[in-house]
Amino acid sequence: MTTAPQWSGEMLDRPEMVQAFSAQLRQVLASHADYVARIRRDAEAMWDENPPEGYSTFEAWWRAKWVKGPLADIQEHLEKAAALTFRLEARYRKGRHEIPARRLAAKQAKELPQGQQAPVLGSGQFGRRTQPGPASGAAAGQDGAADGFLDMIRKDHSA
């Protein structure tokens, strides 16, 4: 029996993990938005073509508004949430890697004696957090396909 890995903040410590997490979350949110859009489309078409008997024009409009409105709002929120995953990824990369690397490089440039040069970013001399990810930006598996967030976590826990 295998147990699912438990959540810890260290799982989102590498840029490729955050990128995989964001992509997977974006895909799930987009699929839910598509699902709601299909239900909304069918509900609106059904209501427009088959309004219940006995309703006045105003009452039919009012009830349709109460059905159509929330579905439209839910779909809009899901689409906005999917778009926000790009902001999540960019803020993480900038806040956890780019800005600290620039600060460290500026600090080291101030501390170096005359004639010495600061190590190049990505040279491995800054530690694991600032090492660049794969060239494509996506976490690539051995077969070249992008690994999902949970696949990467499972690999980390099995190693």
pLDDT in tens, 35-48: 999 998 988 888 77
Residue 68 included in any domain: yes
pLDDT grade for 74, boundaries at 50, 70 and 90: very high
Residue 110 included in any domain: no
pLDDT at 139: 45
- Domain of 67, in residue numbers: 21-104+144-159
Residue 15 included in any domain: no
pTM of the full structure: 0.59
140-159 pLDDT tens trace: 445 545 678 888 888 887 87
Q: What one-character-per-residue DSSP string does the chain give?
A: ---PPPP-GGGG-SHHHHHHHHHHHHHHHHHHHHHHHHHHHHHHHHHHHSPPTT--HHHHHHHHHHHHHHHHHHHHHHHHHHHHHHHHHHHHHIIIIIHHHHHHHHHHHHHSPTT--PPPTTSSSS-GGGS---TTSS-B-TTSPBPPHHHHHHHHHH-
Domain count, the chain: 1
